[in-house]
Amino acid sequence: MNKFTVSGSPHIHGDDSTKKIMYGVVIAMIPTVLFSIYFFGVDATRVFLLAIVACLFFEWAIQKYLIKGPLTINDGSALITAILLALNLPSNLPGWMVIIGALVAIGMAKMSFGGLGKNIFNPALVARVFLLVSFPVQMTSWPKPSPITNGLADVITGATPLGILKEGLNNEKTISELTPNLPTYTQGLMGEMGGSMGEVSALALIIGGIYMLWKKIITWHIPVSMLLTVAIFSGIFWGVDPEHYADPLFHMLTGGMLLGAIFMATDMVTSPMTKGGQLVFGFGVGLLTILIRLWGAYPEGVSFAILLMNATVPLINRGFKPQRFGRN
């Protein structure tokens, strides 16, 4: 005799699932991963694999032995954190540092807050900043990209474009003097410049972003407001003094700007819930990034900007509510 099920309505559901969303993001990151392996070779593969294995291992171990709760390493969120962490690191980082990064990302920034959905700060960025502050030398020696087709040449290290810019400006050089050392726009777009593994190829990142917009995993609000803010602010200063301030397109293509705008700031757990809130969030990230880039001590500001704005998200959620029906 069949026992009927009784439950509250609705009795049907859409076919969206957390797993689908997570793996959708992973697919969007594939072009970037491929490009970084192309440019940074075996080292890149090494960092990716280490990060993935370490993150999954730590999540499994913490869930099984510390929390003693259900195991959810299949849902794809640890995988995303691992890939994002790897994309934020230079490909010549020692393996044990990658593992520490994974532990910080999963253990400290995600699990200690309560697991999936409960963290305030973006785990990959927390780990990146942690490593940057703890191991500044290794975290800022960027290998020069050398397409894998050129064979396994010795890795030469150099500074990122932003690093060149900041140091040059601090030494009272002008933009025109520095330009020969900076990549061209094409090189910036395609990825032939120094930087972390994910920073280099703007094209790959944009492809991933378009994929996520198509699959409705992210909306345009945060990336557009962030990049627009960056463009406007840097544009104003560049317009006033083009010899001491780089142009907006340069800012957008270098550093972690696109990686941050497309993958890190749009992380659902740590970004605001309403469209209005997201626009404010994007504006804040853009503004802080430019402030740090132009006047801060660090050449790159995206990671810090996103983490700082993550802290304001609960406040943004309180202030920006959706439009209510029948209350205007």
Binding footprint of other proteins on the chain (CB under 8 A): 2-14, 16-18, 20-21, 72, 75, 77, 115-118, 268-271, 273-274, 321-328
Between CA 269 and CA 276, with CA 275 as vertex, the angle to 5 degrees is: 115
- Least CB distance to other proteins at residue 322 (A): 5
Q: What is the DSSP letter of 158?
A: E
Looking at beta carbons only, is 78 or 230 nearer to other proteins? 78
Q: How far is the CB of 54 from other proteins (least distance, A)?
A: 22
Q: Given the complex with other proteins, which of 175 and 279 has the nearer CB atom?
A: 279
Kindly tell me which of 64 and 118 has the beta carbon lying closer to other proteins. 118
Q: Which is nearer to other proteins, 95 or 117 (CB)?
A: 117
Q: Is residue 294 classed exposed, middle or buried when 0-12, 13-18 and 19+ CB atoms within 10 A define those classes? A: middle
Instruction: List the beta bridge partners of residue 158.
Output: 142
Distance between CA atoms of 219 and 224, rounded to whole angstroms? 9
In the complex with other proteins, the residue whose CB is nearer, 10 or 151, is 10
CB of 266 to other proteins, least distance (A): 11
Distance between alpha carbon 289 and the CA centroid of its chain, in Å?
Answer: 13
Min dist. Cβ of residue 181 to other proteins (A): 42
Q: Kindly state the tokens that stand for 248.
A: 């907006």
CA 202 – CA 253 distance, rounded (Å)? 6
Of the pair 151, 324, the CB lying nearest other proteins is at 324
Least distance from C-beta 75 to other proteins, angstroms? 7
Q: Please give the Cα distance from 88 to 105 (Å, whole number).
A: 12
Mapped onto helix, strand or coil, the DSSP state of residue 143 is: strand
Our CB check for other proteins shows the closer of 110 and 251 to be: 110
CB contact at 8 A, 320 and 279: no
Tokens at residue 313, please?
């998200």
For residue 217, the minimal CB distance to other proteins (Å) is 9
Q: What is the C-alpha separation between 285 and 307, in angstroms, rounded?
A: 9
Tokens of 90: 């230079």
The distance of closest approach from Cβ of residue 7 to other proteins in the complex, given in angstroms and rounded to an integer, is 4
How far is Cα 34 from Cα 191, in angstroms, rounded to an integer? 12
